[in-house]
Amino acid sequence: MLQTNRLTIRQLTTGDTAFIIELLNTPGWLQFIGDRNVRTTEEAISYLTNGPLKSYAENGFGLYLVATKADDIPIGMCGILKRATLDNPDIGYALLPAFAGMGYAYEMANAVLNYALQELKLPSVCAITLPVNASSIKLLAKLGLKNKGPFVAEDTKETLLLFQS
């Protein structure tokens, strides 16, 4: 679907269950995104079916698998989400710990953000993050998203930071 110098970005499929189980149970995912209780193949299929695959059908976008171009190793997920609690779709991303600190997060998020604004013609894209997630805040600023300040998530009542293009 998308390519960068080092990455391919494609839609997730139910064949990606092993990767989903691994990614959704990393310390960073659990700390900054939250436990989705995805531990088995069946739970991963349900997560994919009711999340990314449903979003592709309903919105024309969703979370995508990110893999290295050289050897097609899945390293993370990045995409656009439509949440009822936000006025605009938002960008989300996560990397396996072994691939952090190598510039992949910026590379994939920049490609997906450009895709959302230029190809999908979304008028604006936002992002939400925990105030303690310094690396995410730094990345969102590098992407050119502006910090709009605190935002209380209606579903979790957590205070997050809201960024917008």
Domain locations along the chain: 2-123
Q: How far is CA 125 from CA 27, 112, 128, in A?
A: 27, 11, 11
Q: What is the DSSP letter of 69?
A: T
Higher-scoring residue by pLDDT: 79, 155: 79
pLDDT at 157 over 90: no
Contact 75, 102 (CB under 8 A): no
pLDDT tens figures, 82-115: 998 899 999 999 999 999 999 999 999 999 999 9
Q: What's the pTM? A: 0.93
Token output for 107:
């590379």
Counting residues of the chain whose pLDDT is more than 70, the rounded percentage is 100
Rounded-to-integer distance, Cα 43 and Cα 68, Å: 26
CATH number of 2-123: 3.40.630.30
List the beta bridge partners of residue 147. 163
Rounded-to-integer distance, Cα 124 and Cα 150, Å: 18
Q: Which pLDDT belongs to residue 153?
A: 81
pLDDT tens figures, 23-68: 999 999 999 898 999 999 999 999 999 999 999 999 999 999 999 9
Q: Which pLDDT belongs to residue 60?
A: 95
Rounded-to-integer distance, Cα 97 and Cα 94, Å: 9
Question: What rounded mean pLDDT belongs to the chain?
Answer: 95
Residues comprising the chain, all counted: 165
Contact 77, 21 (CB under 8 A): no
Phi, psi of 48 (to 5 degrees): -65, -45
